Structure 1
């Protein structure tokens, strides 16, 4: 999209704001957006998409060009919510634990506090905004068509991707990475390339977030229906003797608890597509009777298909961060610069007073990010105590920023199981952080790279000379985030630091992986007329941030499905 077009979009958004449109629960001009309480008891569509998140929105917009589409989202609208829209409010939605929050907190069996989206636009409404494509190797290994992948990324980028404005803190991180050996310098690019680069962001120059929900601007409004606060309880199947089960509808409830059913219109091309995310998609499959037979029977669920790989291969990229107090002011910034190392760790940074652990920053106990205690000790009481402690300090200890490392992949995997039959409840999830030694090795190498960055000449303006990395890791007084001594030997290893301070960067994936639960066209193995299209299908998290690729995948598969539909029509 050209500069002039973006200016007109921002101008139009400003006009709508002053007219009061932004206070409503619907997006401007989105006539297809409705509360599920307005839905008929029974309805019929060519495609039914379960989940209006990062993949579901671009998928629905694309399919609506040539078919009737129902998009069911369990959450509400992101529009008019300043905690979603404004960069300065980052983290406030993640800290909201109310039943209507756009973020639903869950705690993995590992003890790490995490979050899943509950809003139209999915995780793109809650994240730190970094926008970057997957590597060419990732695209090749996925078996995707490179030309269509690039076209799909560009389709997304015309509406939601921007170039960030780099200021002094991010510049120092950038130069420090180069000095630390994370080379070459690749400039500003969306591409995933070894070295140091400036990536994209979904926050525009005014600090306003643009989400996957914005991609519904591409939709054919006469063929799309989006229902908010629509909680899907199960996929409905027709069993046909020796034939494969056929998905033909969904059962969902509105916010009042009223039951509704939506069915596919008659036709061999029509399908149901689950895009409920890495937590929601395997959960819905299991609730619908597709999953490990023993687990389903134990939960009194009738087995439609014994599929033992549903819920397996769950992974969350471990993140470890170091808070660096600064003698100089640090501007407010989320992730903008990234170092992509060859050993499998990504180095990034965020800083500024508004994002300190005292407020609602990426590393605040208010949003569940607490690394001063090992994961199993991060109880609600511990979180409250950490918040109280930070509130008792003056502003000085919070002047600075975080430098983090995220482990690529990861190699370690876990699993997901149902805890209740309510789709709005969290399932039990285990990620097994650092179970594989390679992940731990990458974490250590990432921390060593951060040490070289912090001690670089380029970063000296933002470093107290007397604070070495070992000192930072072992601060016991006034430290807002870093590890407090927990072991008899105060000179702990970096391996132990990785394990004790692990947090999430919200890039979990798996549960419906390609080749195990779905085929390479994302069709669920063993049943008909059902696909899963979202991050639950990933074996590895793409790039340094998956959101661009998840949005791309929605567009890519929408185009692929429409092309299949057209080919079927022409063959008749």
Structure 2
């Protein structure tokens, strides 16, 4: 892309109309060495996580599930949405990075199993959020190539666009007046938010050099660092709770006690079926949406002999041989439980914040999870999945699981055991539909 530059090649100070940063593309399963696209951390409540650390964000490391928001989101957001513009925005994105192609064998069978398990009606291919079973869009092309959000840059006005890679934004520059071309410093104000203006950002390149990027008149600083990174940048820039910022000796720009609060993610529970025959890999392209606020998603993949196992994707001490697996995941939609994010120090963005999600703190979330996991059990009882059972030495047929399976006597299992036991999520920002967990 002609508009992409290494941050070390850019001047120490320059005016920009638009500015963004990210990293370089590698592979999701690589161990985190500080430069890989997936930045790993563990939440305060013990949940393993991964954040996108690459140009295109987490759209470059997730499983490519693409579905539009539900109508309830717009009604309850408190924002006066222009529905026509929303529709055009969806189409603009979908024309570039969202694809439809024929379902694989596993996805077709699982779609039939969902319908047998009363997750209906069959909605065919549909990008809208609608109760029932449907095929969805994917950011993977039919030949397996990923098309992440970075490709949307190609649809912009490239003459007005510069993208710096291998760079990290360290903070937002605030002032009560717009900068002139020769401005060399910024003013931090502690007062009314209406008197503050975001006029630029401070960022560093891979050689440790500091840069300042300012917007021109009527320009805007768009903060799009994800659910975790955006909050972290606001706090590091002095927007947050006065007691919290002062305790870390961060100059206060504006007091807002809600920055870092209400952190939530969609917990989900997975089962991994060991398939008794070779199965082609597939990404999430079929989904069941129930009326009980749950999604049922699935994908299939092969594990070669030397496959490296990282960040809780599979249980500890398990090293599968060349095996085909089919994963069925139940995810809670719009959890009511929430936690918080706070800084550990004023040492910059590379010092990850402390995050807590408090999954299942709200009993309604736990009740929804129980219904979702039991729907998983209904799916396993369908005729469509009979060919995926394995025959044991006594000739009995049953499913073989990699890791934990569903409880055999679901009605007698406590809710906490059924859903919260062994919770280990992988959180993929921007596409929360694609997070994973095991029970």
Change (3 A) 1:507 1:115: closer
Q: CA deviation at 1:263?
A: 1.7
Superposed displacement of residue 259, structure 1: 1.1
**Does 2:225 match 1:271?**
no
Give the number of the structure whose residues are more often helix, by fraction: 1
Per-residue deviation, residues 501-524 of structure 1 (Å, max 9, x unmatched) = 32325255xxxxxxxxxxxxxxxx
SS at match of 2:214: strand
Q: Which residue, 393, 403, 407 being the options, matches 1:481? A: 403
Q: Which residue of 2 aligns with 1:307?
A: 256
Mapped partners of 1:507, 1:105: distance in 2: 11
Q: Alignment partner for residue 363 of structure 2, among 409, 414, 437? A: 437
User: Equivalents in 2 of 1:400, 1:439: separation in Å?
Assistant: 28
Unaligned stretches of 5+ residues in structure 1 = 1-29, 46-67, 84-92, 373-385, 486-490, 509-534, 536-540, 547-572
Q: In structure 1, what is the equivalent of residue 318 of structure 2?
A: 390
Aligned to 2:23: 75
The equivalent position to 2:335 in structure 1, one of 395, 410, 422, is 410
180-189 vs 270-279, which deviates more? Answer: 270-279
1:131 CA drift (Å): 1.0
Partner residue of 1:296 out of 221, 235, 245: 245
**Structure 1 residue 74: deviation in Å?**
3.8
2:44 aligned partner: 109
Question: Does 2:375 correspond to 1:427?
Answer: no
Q: In the alignment, which residue of structure 2 is the partner of 1:221? A: 158
Distance, in Å, in 2 between the alignment partners of 1:507 and 1:261 is 29
Distance change (3 Å), C-alpha of 1:208 and 1:482: same
What is the CA distance between 1:336 and its match in structure 2?
1.4
Partner SS, residue 235 of structure 1: strand
- 1:258 aligned partner: 209
**Residue pair 1:101, 1:118 contacting (<8 A) in 2 also:** yes
Quick one: structure 1 residues 507 and 317, their matched pair in 2 at CA, closer, same or farther if it must change by over 3 Å?
farther
CA contact (8 A) 1:400 1:462 kept: no
Residue of structure 1 in register with 2:184 after alignment: none
Q: CA separation of 1:464/1:452 partners in 2, compared to 1, >3 Å: closer, same or farther?
A: farther
Structure 1 residue 251: Cα displacement: 1.4
Q: Given that residues 318 and 505 in structure 1 are in contact (C-alpha distance below 8 angstroms), is that contact kept between their aligned partners in structure 2?
A: no
User: What CA RMSD, in Å, does the superposition of the two structures yield over aligned residues?
Assistant: 2.6
For residue 434 of structure 1, report the CA deviation from its aligned partner. Answer: 0.6
TM-score, normalised to structure 1, is 0.67
1:498 equivalent in alignment to 2:433: no
More strand by share: 2
- In the alignment, is the contact (CA less than 8 A) between 1:317 and 1:406 conserved in 2? yes
| Structure 2: 5+ residue stretches without partners | 176-187
Alpha-carbon distance, 1:94 to partner: 4.0
CA contact (8 A) 2:46 2:424 kept: no
SS in 2 for 1:95: coil
**Structure 2 length as normaliser, TM-score?**
0.87
Structure-2 separation of matches of 1:501 and 1:324: 18
CA apart distance, 1:247: 2.1
Match of 1:460 among 386, 401, 404: 386
Give the CA deviation at 1:463. 2.3
State the distance in 2 between where 1:305 and 1:404 align: 42
Shift of 1:164: 3.3
Whether the 8 Å contact between 1:483 and 1:497 is mirrored in structure 2 is: no
Offset of residue 450 of structure 1: 0.9
1:329 is aligned to 2:278: yes
Aligned length: 410
Asked if residue 369 in structure 1 is aligned to residue 313 in structure 2, the reply is yes
